[in-house]
């Protein structure tokens, strides 16, 4: 879309929104280009007929002869291995059509400043090199060349460019949320309740140094957001968001992304860069939540766990599983698993076999995870919730939103981790579970130096 606006104002707008408004395409030679969002790929290299008219035999619809036709490759795969899906022709939102310029350097050289007869005479004297064609860039019909991203070769450069193109969308999610009066109200209400409860208030407020000091100084518990939210906004705007490879950070090789309190940064794992833009944004929303918690939890940790607790606190279940014990609430229900008649009544509209499947998945996840408490750590639950809210583009969840994930009809990692903890808590009724999630304003970190997605 073309916007007619004065140049100086346009530059300011472009700088503000450039991360949102561009996608990345990769040429046949592996060079990355930044194109406006909404660009349509008209054809790929695979779609292009290599028997071009000027070189192909008449039997192929061309005007060439056997000598010229011999210079044509059988397919572009032999010239650009693995790149046949690279864009050949595309149309930008402003109507410009760009086409790949693919030329043969040898032919170009012999064709400089010579007549047509001399050109063909020299061409016939050479042995054909059908795989010698090169990519020379993308050009519009008017001859305008599209400039590649500086240093645009390689997976890591592409990874950085792709994350850079979407990271402001994750920041904007949080900035919009923090500007919502209802979110501020929930934040103040949840923390006021925590401070007014002697045990809960003491534990929750001492989770961070900030909370401990403010508890000693006597915080304004009724309007805590007035102090905390400006700090949140500053964190969201300024925290560095970059990328890494497993080779750079072997300890984070299995993570999709990670937040480091020590470095105060967020980094995305380039092994997962082929995810969709929306999926990357959801992951960054998840990690930004960890950054906010590192300053001050959005919800008291015990309140978060309460939303997942049915018959039992899920952290107790994790401990029982690791100690090879029958979960205590399973004993009370008279069965050696998480399912009971009571639970089945609570979730009477759910298939008992679906609940049993979640039970097996939850127990297996705890036993096989090198960090078993990850499944129900409050900071992770808050991050899972925010990422799912971003995916569904809504703050208030409904039963209809979760049922496709509960019934294994759809998959989303953040939804899965919410439901695994729901299972570990003893399957409180789905209606109560969703209501509890909606009561959370948001937030919380891992007990080590990093939080992972």
Q: Is residue 242 part of a domain?
A: yes
The single residue listed with the structure tokens 């501020």 is 184
Q: Is residue 6 part of a domain?
A: no
Q: Are residues 414 and 322 in the same domain?
A: yes
Q: Are residues 418 and 365 in the same domain?
A: yes
8 Å CB contact between 54 and 63: yes
Q: Are residues 265 and 348 in the same domain?
A: no
3-state helix, strand, coil in the chain (%, to 5): 50, 10, 40
Burial of 419 (0-12, 13-18, 19+ CB in 10 A): buried
Residue ranges making up the domain that contains 136: 22-146
Q: Are residues 357 and 424 in the same domain?
A: yes
Q: Are residues 448 and 319 in the same domain?
A: yes
Q: Are residues 316 and 441 in the same domain?
A: yes
Buried b (16+ CB within 10 A) or exposed e, 313-348: bbbbbbbbbeeeeebbbbeebeeeebbbeebeebbe
> What pLDDT score does 346 carry?
57
Who's near 65: CB < 8 A, 6+ residues apart? 57
Round to whole Å and give the CA distance between 36 and 32: 13
Q: Is residue 11 part of a domain?
A: no
Q: Is residue 4 part of a domain?
A: no
Q: Is residue 8 part of a domain?
A: no
Q: Is residue 10 part of a domain?
A: no
Alpha-helical runs (H) found in 207-300: 209-217, 225-238, 277-295
Tokens of 99: 């086409």
Give, as one character, the DSSP assignment of residue 147.
Answer: P
Which pairs count as long-range contacts for 65-71, CB under 8 Å and 24+ apart, including other chains?
67/120, 67/123, 67/124, 67/128, 68/120, 68/123, 70/128, 70/130, 71/104, 71/107, 71/123, 71/128, 71/129, 71/130
Q: Are residues 434 and 329 in the same domain?
A: yes
Tell me which of 246, 274, 295 is where a domain ends: 295
Cα atoms found within 13 Å of the Cα of residue 56, Cβ hemisphere only: 12
Q: Are residues 78 and 105 in the same domain?
A: yes
Nearest to 314 by CA among 418, 231, 235, 439: 418
8 Å CB contact between 102 and 42: no
Q: Is residue 5 part of a domain?
A: no
Nearest to 187 by CA among 285, 299, 288, 290: 299
> What pLDDT score does 325 carry?
61
Round to whole Å and give the CA distance between 321 and 405: 24
The single residue listed with the structure tokens 């016939």 is 124
8 Å CB contact between 70 and 128: yes
Phi (first) and psi of residue 220, to 5 degrees: -75, 85
> What pLDDT score does 250 carry?
85
Domain count, the chain: 3
Q: Is residue 134 part of a domain?
A: yes
> What pLDDT score does 230 carry?
94
Tell me which of 295, 318, 345 is where a domain ends: 295
Burial of 254 (0-12, 13-18, 19+ CB in 10 A): exposed
8 Å CB contact between 94 and 1: yes
Q: Are residues 314 and 445 in the same domain?
A: yes
Tokens of 101: 């310029």
Give, as one character, the DSSP assignment of residue 31.
Answer: B
Tell me which of 272, 295, 318 is where a domain ends: 295
Q: Are residues 363 and 404 in the same domain?
A: yes
8 Å CB contact between 268 and 256: yes
Who's near 286: CB < 8 A, 6+ residues apart? 257, 383, 384, 386, 387, 414, 453
> What pLDDT score does 109 carry?
81
Average pLDDT for runs of 10 along the chain of length 453: 31 36 78 83 82 76 83 85 87 91 86 77 85 91 82 66 91 93 87 68 47 50 84 95 88 87 91 84 94 88 83 79 64 46 54 84 82 86 90 90 91 89 87 87 41 42
Q: Are residues 270 and 164 in the same domain?
A: yes
Q: Are residues 445 and 310 in the same domain?
A: yes
What angle do helix axes 352-368 and 314-322 make, rounded to 10 degrees? Answer: 60
């Amino acid at each position: 879309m073309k916007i007619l606006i004065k140049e100086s104002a346009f530059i300011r707008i472009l700088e503000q929104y450039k991360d949102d408004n561009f996608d990345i395409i990769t040429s046949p030679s592996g060079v990355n280009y930044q194109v406006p969002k909404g660009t349509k790929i008209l054809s790929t290299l695979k779609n292009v007929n290599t028997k071009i008219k000027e070189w192909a035999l008449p039997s192929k619809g061309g005007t060439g002869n056997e000598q010229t036709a011999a210079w044509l490759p059988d397919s572009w795969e032999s010239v650009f291995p693995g790149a046949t899906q690279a864009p050949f022709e595309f149309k930008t939102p402003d109507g410009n059509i760009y086409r790949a310029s693919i030329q043969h350097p040898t032919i170009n050289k012999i064709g400089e400043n010579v007549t047509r007869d001399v050109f063909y005479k020299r061409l016939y004297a050479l042995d054909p090199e059908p795989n010698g064609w090169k990519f020379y860039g993308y050009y519009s019909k008017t001859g305008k060349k599209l400039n590649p991203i500086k240093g645009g070769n390689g997976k890591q450069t592409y990874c950085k460019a792709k994350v850079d193109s979407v990271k402001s969308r994750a920041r904007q999610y949080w900035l919009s949320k923090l500007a919502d009066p209802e979110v501020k109200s929930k934040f103040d209400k949840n923390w006021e309740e925590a401070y007014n409860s002697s045990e809960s208030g003491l534990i929750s407020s001492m989770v961070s140094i900030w909370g401990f000091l403010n508890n000693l100084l006597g915080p304004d518990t009724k309007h805590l957001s007035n102090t905390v939210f400006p700090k949140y906004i500053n964190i969201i705007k300024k925290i560095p968001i970059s990328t890494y490879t497993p080779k750079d950070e072997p300890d984070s090789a299995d993570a999709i992304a990670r937040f480091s309190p020590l470095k105060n940064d967020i980094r995305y794992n380039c092994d997962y860069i082929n995810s969709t833009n929306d999926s990357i944004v959801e992951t960054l929303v998840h990690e930004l939540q960890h950054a906010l918690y590192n300053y001050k939890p959005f919800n008291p940790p015990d309140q978060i766990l309460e939303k997942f607790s049915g018959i039992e606190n899920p952290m107790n279940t994790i401990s029982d599983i690791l100690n090879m014990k029958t979960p205590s609430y399973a004993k009370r229900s008279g069965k050696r698993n998480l399912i009971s008649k009571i639970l089945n009544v609570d979730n009477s509209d759910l298939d008992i076999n679906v609940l049993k499947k979640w039970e097996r998945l939850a127990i297996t996840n705890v036993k096989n995870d090198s960090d078993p408490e990850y499944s129900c750590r409050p900071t992770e639950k808050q991050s899972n919730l925010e990422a799912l809210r971003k995916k569904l583009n809504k703050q208030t969840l409904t039963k209809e939103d979760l049922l496709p994930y509960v019934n294994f009809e759809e998959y989303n990692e953040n939804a899965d981790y919410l439901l695994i903890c729901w299972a570990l808590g003893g399957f409180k009724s789905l209606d109560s579970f969703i209501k509890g999630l909606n009561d959370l304003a948001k937030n919380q970190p891992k007990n080590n130096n990093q939080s992972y997605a």
